[in-house]
């Protein structure tokens, strides 16, 4: 009997099934469907071998013809079932579940399957045996081959149609699995004595298991928890099939910069063990020091999160604290993208416990809307520059202005920086905004209008992201050369807090631009945590006392000697001072008496669009001549 290949295939499938069942399980729909497909493959192979044995025994007269017919029909019905399960395995992960046409397509293929199985039952079947050549044939077998081909080809077509939505490895594995099965079925249909279908299907299962269902990429070797990849697959699966879940996330924050590797590793292992001990729910390590557990019930989630917090509060030998993010109801978030965006955004919260509620979700969605607003403004040239003039006390005129970014909406409404700058910095859009503002300032200077109304310099804010990662010299000098203006027109403002992030890179970039003729100011002085060495070595021409710093001069008696002393130090370092946030005549007079060089604030002027700035300077600078 020609059953060697089938026996070998049966052993292979049995081995894969055992390995699959022994794995640590993650409740994914794909894995359920794969298990169903591999079970169908195993049973089909068993009946393939059994049918060959029965045919051989019938030909020898040992078994009734009718009994062998039943076994042969069961085998080819299982063959069709295997093809149907293969199609379901592929299409469930690819076709959109909510679309009406996809639902109807699933119904059609299911009806084809049922009708085909009925036809196989009622149509005649025959078989042939001559030595080692044993096979079945007839109308019933032809229907089975036809239906199997329909499901195989449908799976291939679906995979190709949705190739852009699946990883390349999955695409190749699916095509190889179905392709080798289709080729074997075609050969066996043309040459019935070559019983290749069973072995080909088993070989396909091996490929699927190794390429798609092998769990190695889902496990973290050091903790035994599931990985970030596993969490991504799990959350996408939950949302796709409409299953509500709850999740809590714990992040370890070490309180010292000198925690050694062994202590960190010990903290991670202890956390992993504590999470596993909570119960059977899947626990994930999603970063070096961040862990989460997913629950089907929010009450159980709150209970277990409280257990973890109590355990953490009891740990005294590791200098660390925990922060906790709880998502009680996954349905509050629109889908996997918003879920992971929420996780990424609020895991860095300074609060110890953050609970996902409608207010936080609306805040997140507002951030997304603002990101889109920024993109649209950049695309449609609705990023505008307003200018706030500085009053030069010694010259009694306005000879410097600060460029301030605004976004104009389609309806004409102006959006102020506090609404979009923090989000732009977080998203990286601040680089594009900074370049656009710089271009518009250079264009304004090149027009000659700025010089005609008495301006000698324009200050432009520089983002920390652009200054410590990009090459600011390149885009600054490119635009200066493009618009053919003098570098002396440009004064770049760098904030005190931004300057502390990448000190060496920042200094190198600053000195290269200073060599070209560009000057610098230290913006928002008084809000950072700079030390004397840092301040003394900043290559800046002016220091801007922050609004909160100058306002404190008028509201806090202890601030007066501080500000007065700082003024004396700055002047001894040969730097000028700009006092920001001056709103009244009394405040302006006090700053003049203290000896600052420039005053900026609403007392003289709010930030103005370019045309209004020109009118303002035409009027006020001419009056001071």
DSSP 413-456: PEEPHHHHHHHHHHHTTHHHHHHHHHHHHHHHHHTTHHHHTT--
Q: Is the pLDDT of residue 334 over 70?
A: yes
Report the alpha-carbon distance of residue 248 to residue 326 in Å, rounded.
4
The SS3 call for residue 22 is helix
Report the alpha-carbon distance of residue 147 to residue 86 in Å, rounded.
12
Report the alpha-carbon distance of residue 152 to residue 148 in Å, rounded.
6
pLDDT at 1: 45
310 pLDDT band, cuts 50/70/90, is confident
Q: Is the pLDDT of residue 530 over 90?
A: no
- Over residues 487-491, the mean pLDDT reads 95
Which residues have C-beta within 8 Å of that of residue 566, sequence separation ≥ 6? 545
* Structure tokens that stand for 460 in this block: 């432009």
The SS3 call for residue 247 is strand
- Over residues 412-441, the mean pLDDT reads 90
Report the alpha-carbon distance of residue 113 to residue 103 in Å, rounded.
16
Query: What sign for the dihedral angle of Cα 552, 556, 557, 562?
Result: negative
Instruction: Report the percentage of the chain scoring pLDDT > 70.
Output: 89
Report the alpha-carbon distance of residue 534 to residue 575 in Å, rounded.
15
Please state which of the ranges 69-78, 142-151, 179-188 shows the lowest mean pLDDT. Answer: 179-188
Please state which of the ranges 173-177, 228-232, 355-359, 605-609 shows the lowest mean pLDDT. Answer: 173-177
Which residues have C-beta within 8 Å of that of residue 99, sequence separation ≥ 6? none
Residue with tokens 């918003």: 338
- Over residues 360-382, the mean pLDDT reads 93
Please report the domains of the chain, with CATH numbers, ordered by start residue.
4-216 (1.20.1070), 220-356 (3.30.70.270), 378-620 (3.20.20.450)
Contact assessment for residue 420 and residue 373, using Cβ atoms and an 8 Å cutoff: yes
Report the alpha-carbon distance of residue 113 to residue 78 in Å, rounded.
11
Report the alpha-carbon distance of residue 51 to residue 202 in Å, rounded.
18
Average pLDDT score over the chain:
85
- The closest of 43, 35, 40, 46 to 6, measured between CA atoms, is 46
Q: How many residues does the chain have?
A: 625
467 pLDDT band, cuts 50/70/90, is low
- The closest of 276, 283, 301 to 355, measured between CA atoms, is 301
Report the alpha-carbon distance of residue 269 to residue 96 in Å, rounded.
40
Q: Is the pLDDT of residue 356 over 70?
A: yes
3-state SS track over 492-540:
EEEEHHHHCCCHHHHHHHHHHHHHHCCEEEEEEECCCCCCHHHHHCCCC
- Over residues 127-140, the mean pLDDT reads 78
pLDDT at 464: 67
The count of C-alpha atoms lying within 13 angstroms of the C-alpha of 356, restricted to the half-sphere facing its C-beta, is 30
Strand partners, 544: 578
- Over residues 110-139, the mean pLDDT reads 85
Which residues have C-beta within 8 Å of that of residue 467, sequence separation ≥ 6? 494, 498, 505, 506, 509
- The closest of 154, 201, 196 to 40, measured between CA atoms, is 201
Helix, strand, coil percentages in the chain from 3-state DSSP, rounded to 5: 60, 15, 25
Contact assessment for residue 83 and residue 152, using Cβ atoms and an 8 Å cutoff: yes
Q: What distance, in Å, lies between the first and last C-alpha atoms of the chain?
A: 113
Contact assessment for residue 534 and residue 500, using Cβ atoms and an 8 Å cutoff: yes
Which residues have C-beta within 8 Å of that of residue 251, sequence separation ≥ 6? 287, 289, 290, 291, 322, 323, 324, 325, 347
Instruction: Report the percentage of the chain scoring pLDDT > 90.
Output: 35
* Structure tokens that stand for 294 in this block: 């997913």
Contact assessment for residue 59 and residue 124, using Cβ atoms and an 8 Å cutoff: no
- Over residues 524-532, the mean pLDDT reads 59
pLDDT at 496: 57
Report the alpha-carbon distance of residue 590 to residue 587 in Å, rounded.
5
329 Ramachandran zone, left/alpha/beta (phi>0; psi -120 to 50): beta
- The closest of 158, 164, 198 to 180, measured between CA atoms, is 198
* Structure tokens that stand for 592 in this block: 């003049």
- Over residues 190-219, the mean pLDDT reads 71
Please state which of the ranges 171-185, 223-237, 589-603 shows the lowest mean pLDDT. Answer: 171-185
Strand boundaries in 526-594, DSSP class E: 542-545, 576-579
258 pLDDT band, cuts 50/70/90, is low
């Amino acid at each position: 009997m020609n059953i060697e290949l089938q026996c070998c295939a049966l052993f292979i499938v049995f081995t894969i099934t055992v390995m699959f069942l022994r794995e640590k399980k993650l409740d994914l729909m794909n894995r359920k469907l794969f298990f169903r497909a591999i079970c169908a493959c195993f049973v089909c192979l068993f009946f393939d071998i059994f049918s060959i044995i029965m045919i051989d025994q019938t030909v020898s007269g040992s078994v009734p013809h009718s009994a062998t017919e039943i076994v042969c029909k069961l085998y080819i019905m299982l063959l069709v079932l295997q093809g149907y399960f293969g199609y379901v395995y592929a299409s469930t992960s690819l076709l959109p579940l909510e679309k009406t046409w996809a639902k109807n397509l699933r119904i059609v293929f299911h009806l084809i399957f049922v009708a085909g199985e009925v036809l196989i039952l009622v149509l005649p079947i025959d078989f042939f045996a001559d030595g080692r050549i044993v096979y079945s044939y007839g109308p019933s077998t032809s229907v089975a081959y036809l239906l199997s081909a329909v499901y195989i080809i449908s799976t291939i077509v679906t995979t190709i149609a949705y190739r852009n939505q699946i990883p390349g490895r999955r695409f190749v594995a699916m095509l190889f699995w179905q392709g080798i099965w289709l080729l074997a079925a075609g050969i066996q249909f043309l040459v019935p004595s070559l019983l290749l279908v069973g072995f080909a299907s088993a070989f396909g299962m091996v490929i699927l298991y190794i390429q798609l269902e092998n769990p190695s990429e889902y496990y973290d070797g050091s903790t035994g928890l599931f990985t970030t990849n596993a969490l991504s697959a799990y959350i996408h699966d939950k949302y796709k099939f409409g299953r509500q879940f709850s999740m809590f996330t714990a992040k370890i924050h070490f309180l010292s910069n000198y925690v050694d590797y062994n202590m960190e590793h010990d903290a991670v292992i202890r956390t992993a063990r504590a999470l596993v001990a909570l119960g059977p729910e899947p626990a994930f390590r999603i970063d070096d020091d961040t862990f989460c557990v997913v629950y089907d019930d929010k009450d159980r989630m709150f209970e277990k999160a409280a257990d973890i917090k109590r355990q953490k509060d009891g740990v005294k030998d590791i200098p660390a604290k925990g922060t906790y993010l709880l998502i009680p109801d996954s349905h509050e978030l629109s889908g996997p993208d918003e879920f992971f965006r929420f996780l990424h955004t609020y895991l860095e919260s300074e609060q110890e416990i953050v609970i996902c509620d409608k207010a936080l979700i609306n805040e997140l969605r507002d951030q997304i809307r603002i990101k889109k607003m920024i993109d649209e403004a950049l695309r449609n040239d609705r990023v505008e520059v307003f200018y706030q003039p500085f009053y030069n006390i010694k010259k009694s005129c306005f000879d410097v202005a600060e460029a301030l970014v605004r976004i104009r909406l389609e309806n004409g409404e102006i959006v102020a920086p506090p609404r979009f700058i923090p989000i732009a910095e977080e998203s990286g859009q601040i680089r594009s905004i900074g370049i656009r503002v710089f271009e518009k300032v250079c264009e304004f200077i090149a027009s000659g209008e700025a010089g005609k109304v008495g301006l000698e310099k324009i200050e432009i804010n520089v983002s920390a992201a652009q200054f410590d990662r990009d090459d600011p010299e390149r885009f600054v000098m490119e635009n200066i050369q493009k618009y053919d203006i003098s570098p002396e027109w440009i004064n770049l403002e760098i904030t005190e807090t931004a300057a502390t992030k990448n000190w060496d890179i920042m200094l190198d970039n600053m000195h290269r631009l200073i060599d070209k003729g560009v000057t610098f100011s230290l913006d928002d002085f008084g809000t950072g945590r700079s030390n004397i060495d840092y301040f003394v070595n900043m290559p800046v021409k002016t220091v801007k006392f922050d609004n909160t710093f100058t306002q404190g001069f008028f509201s806090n008696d202890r601030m007066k000697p501080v500000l007065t002393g700082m003024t004396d130090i700055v002047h001894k370092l040969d730097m000028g001072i700009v006092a920001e946030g001056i709103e009244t005549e009394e405040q302006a007079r006090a700053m003049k008496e203290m000896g600052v060089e420039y005053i900026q604030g609403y007392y003289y002027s709010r930030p103005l669009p370019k045309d209004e700035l020109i009118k303002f300077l035409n009027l006020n600078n001419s009056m001071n001549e």
